[in-house]
Amino acid sequence: MATILVVDDDRITRLVIKRMINSHGHIVLEAENGAIGQMLCGQMHIDMLFVDIYMPDQDGIETIHNIRRQTRLLPIIAMTASEPGTDNCYLKHAKLLGATMTFQKPLQEFQIQEALTLILPKPAVLPVPSMLRSEPTAGHRFLEPAGL
């Protein structure tokens, strides 16, 4: 389970993204602008950041720039609601500053899943100890209940 921060000035957008991420079993924190998001990144362990480009107070470009000065390890997903198919220089700029991925809004479920799958570490699969296996191993017999 990862802790993911969603930074967007639009409450409805945060709610929609939060629900999609929660459906994958992750914890979601929210911030309404880049300054608050940057502060949370400095105070808490965050595994992934979704950040809008256009926000009041501190936009996504400045937020990405400031966070990248502190760490290169945090995966950052930049997003914006500009028209699809247009030459969005802000998403290109976000990528140059170190955004891991960029998306046009509104985000779709498959985009959230793609980001989570490609970026977050896979859970380790631990071997099952031989005493918990359902089939007997050499030298072990299962006792059957009486009367069967």
Residues 7-24 pLDDT 10s? 999 999 999 999 999 999
Exposed/middle/buried for residue 113 (C-beta within 10 Å: 0-12, 13-18, 19+): middle
CATH code linked to domain 3-132 = 3.40.50.2300
Res. 138: pLDDT tops 80: no
Residues 63-84 pLDDT 10s? 999 999 999 999 999 999 876 5
60-70 vs 34-43: helix crossing angle, rounded to 10: 20
Predicted confidence band at 90 (pLDDT cuts at 50, 70, 90)?
confident
- Cα angle, residue 100 at apex, residues 1 and 91 outer, rounded to 5°: 130
User: What do you get for the CA distance between the two ends of the chain, in Å?
Assistant: 43
Residues 124-134 pLDDT 10s? 666 666 555 55
Res. 148: pLDDT tops 70: no
Res. 115: pLDDT tops 80: yes
Residues 23-50 pLDDT 10s? 999 999 999 999 999 999 999 999 999 9
Cis peptide before 127 (omega within 30 of 0): no
pTM beyond 0.85: the answer is no
Element housing 52 (H / E): strand 48-52
- What is the residue extent of each domain of the chain? 3-132
- Rounded CA-CA distance 116/89 in Å is 25
